[in-house]
Amino acid sequence: MPSVVKMNFKENGSVESDQTQKLNDRQRKQLQHELKIYMEKYFKQKLGKGVDHTKVIIWDDMVIIRGEGFLTEPEKYIVATTAGKDLVNSARMQVCKQHSIDNMPYFETVLGAKAIHQTYMIEAEGDFWMHAIVFDRVLTE
């Protein structure tokens, strides 16, 4: 069973930015690629192991980041048991929370929008994670 956390940022401090223009298709694809590279470097630096596959989707007022192949070899062994699966899901959920703390200001600045909701999902048994963020304005044309 996946671990899911939902957070509401309505009381969070605002990041001021002049960027309120909507992204056209070319800009959206370029930014998706830049955020993908950024996320891969972040996890490689923080965990010593990057994600095998990362995809970033910017659509309407949302950014969705998903990754596959993030487990270390010891975690893959631990996940084979029910108790181990829960343990790895819990540990990786802490990684997601820290990723949000570290990177949300960057996302808000780059997009010129404020995050108002987010949710994470970790499926250790499938070696999959996802982070969806809803912003306070439409980001794309």
For 106-117, write each residue's pLDDT tens digit. 999 999 999 999
In a domain, 27, yes or no: yes
In a domain, 53, yes or no: yes
In a domain, 48, yes or no: yes
Question: DSSP label at 14?
Answer: P
Residue-level pLDDT at 137:
94
For residues 133 and 50, the model is more confident at 133
In a domain, 51, yes or no: yes
Domain limits at 98? 3-11+20-135
Distances (CA, A) of 105 to 9, 42, 62, 113: 12, 14, 15, 10
In a domain, 96, yes or no: yes
Residue-level pLDDT at 70:
84
Residue-level pLDDT at 55:
95
| Average pLDDT rounded to a whole number, residues 81-105 | 87
| Average pLDDT rounded to a whole number, residues 25-44 | 92
Residue-level pLDDT at 30:
95
Question: DSSP label at 16?
Answer: P
In a domain, 105, yes or no: yes
C-alpha angle with apex 93: 89 to 95, nearest 5 degrees?
120
Domains in the chain, number: 1
Q: Answer whether residue 2 shows pLDDT above 50.
A: no
Q: Answer whether residue 1 shows pLDDT above 70.
A: no
pLDDT single digits (tens) 11-32 = 333 333 345 789 999 999 999 9
Q: In whole angstroms, give the CA distance from residue 122 to residue 66.
A: 10
Global pTM reads 0.78
Which residues face 122 on adjacent strands?
Answer: 3, 129
In a domain, 117, yes or no: yes
In a domain, 141, yes or no: no
